[in-house]
Amino acid sequence: MCIFRHVILYASYRSIPNLEAGQIPYPRNSSFRHRGLLSAKPRLDTSKVKGTTALQHRRTRPSRPQPPIPRTQKITIPTPFTVANLIWSELPLPSAPKAQEEMVSQPPHPALTPQFCFSTAALREFIRISRSSIDDSITQNLNALATPAARGFDITSTSHRAPSGARTLDPSSCTTFKSQILFPGWKARSDVLQYCGSVAVAPDPDDPGLVARQLEEERGKARVINDRLDPYSSRFFPKESRTEELARVVRMESGVERIVRARTWEVVEERCGDSKGLGWEEALREWESGKKGGGSDAV
């Protein structure tokens, strides 16, 4: 009975002219809708819609402006000849003195005063910077002296094998390095340690801790020493004076200085090979005597 009523309703609406099926009002629980006999919405022709949308997008899409090509611009195409000229073009050769100037920067020589020596932190800082710029980086400093591009390529060097060790440097570069950088740095540190050593053994009436140490010594003498009651009662460690502290620092730094110079001189002998069998002490004394006499600095 329900189906018949819907058929009657559909036929009555179909009799109305210019009325499509999608405009017919049906109940939500209509059997025609559930059975798929009628569609809820009219179908559209998607092919026409897609074509129209693409056409409208193509018409409305702005074109990218192309930069004008200047007529005076010259386009260079690399050729084998230009690449070869770029590779084999002659470049300015580095000069050894310029490389040497950029290699080492020594710290300024401090003013030798008792205040500088008693400030053990400043004394150690000067020695540390001087060692780090010369001795600790001795291999890098000597490598900076090697300028193989200045001599050019020797085609006969490929006919024989080179030793596996470090290459020997130019004797003139080694002599310049030792006379202008190595020995002056050693001399500056020796002067500082020697001066501060003389300050350490000299009397120091202006010691600010003199009164405090005297009072501490008096209290130490008045102590009661009884090992049965206090096994540590005999221990007494008075505070050292600043001259004693300075002497201890100078003695320690002098021992380290001998070890550092021996290692540095060993590397210099290996790379330069023109030390004439002299140790670092003899070479330093020979340089100092030559400098005082105004002779040659070659060592």
pLDDT tens-digit readout, 204-228: 878 777 777 767 777 767 677 777 7
Looking at the fold, whether 7 and 138 belong to one and the same domain comes out as no
Looking at the fold, whether 106 and 6 belong to one and the same domain comes out as no
Question: What do you get for the CA distance between the two ends of the chain, in Å?
Answer: 129
CB 222 within 8 A of CB 140: no
Two tokens, residue 164: 């596996």
Greater pLDDT, 263 or 156:
263
How many structural domains are present in the chain?
Answer: 2
Name the most confidently modeled range: 58-62, 121-125, 233-237.
Answer: 121-125
Looking at the fold, whether 23 and 121 belong to one and the same domain comes out as no
The predicted pLDDT at position 299 comes to 61
Residue 180, in any domain of the structure = yes
Average pLDDT over residues 157-179: 75
Neighbours of 172 (CB within 10 A): 12
List alpha helices for 17-168, DSSP H. Answer: 31-34, 46-60, 80-87, 96-103, 114-118, 120-134, 138-143, 148-151
Looking at the fold, whether 31 and 177 belong to one and the same domain comes out as no
Greater pLDDT, 114 or 216:
114
Q: Which residue, 181, 176, 182, 198, is CA-closest to 254?
A: 198
Q: Which residue, 109, 122, 112, is CA-closest to 196?
A: 112
Looking at the fold, whether 9 and 106 belong to one and the same domain comes out as no
Q: Which domain holds residue 2?
A: 1-39
Distance CA 259, CA 57 (A): 84
Residue 81, in any domain of the structure = no
Average model confidence (pLDDT) across the chain: 72
Looking at the fold, whether 18 and 138 belong to one and the same domain comes out as no
Distance CA 2, CA 164 (A): 108
Residue 205, in any domain of the structure = yes
pLDDT at 96 over 50: no
pLDDT at 285 over 60: yes
Name the most confidently modeled range: 12-21, 37-46, 117-126, 146-155.
Answer: 117-126
Residue 22, in any domain of the structure = yes
The predicted pLDDT at position 65 comes to 62
Residue 104, in any domain of the structure = yes
Percent of the chain with pLDDT over 90: 27
Looking at the fold, whether 133 and 27 belong to one and the same domain comes out as no
pLDDT at 162 over 80: no
Looking at the fold, whether 142 and 273 belong to one and the same domain comes out as yes
Is this model's pTM higher than 0.85 or not?
no
The predicted pLDDT at position 188 comes to 94
Q: Which residue, 197, 194, 138, 178, is CA-closest to 288?
A: 178
| Model confidence band, residue 37 (pLDDT cutoffs 50, 70, 90) | very low
Residue 102, in any domain of the structure = yes
Residue 122, in any domain of the structure = yes
Greater pLDDT, 236 or 181:
181
Q: Which residue, 137, 107, 104, 140, is CA-closest to 124?
A: 107
11-15, 131-135, 204-208, 266-270, range with the lowest pLDDT: 11-15
Looking at the fold, whether 25 and 101 belong to one and the same domain comes out as no
The predicted pLDDT at position 40 comes to 47
pLDDT at 100 over 50: no
The predicted pLDDT at position 103 comes to 55
Residue 82, in any domain of the structure = no
Looking at the fold, whether 189 and 254 belong to one and the same domain comes out as yes
Looking at the fold, whether 184 and 281 belong to one and the same domain comes out as yes
- As a whole number of Å, the CA-based R_g of the chain is 48
Looking at the fold, whether 4 and 138 belong to one and the same domain comes out as no
Greater pLDDT, 154 or 257:
257
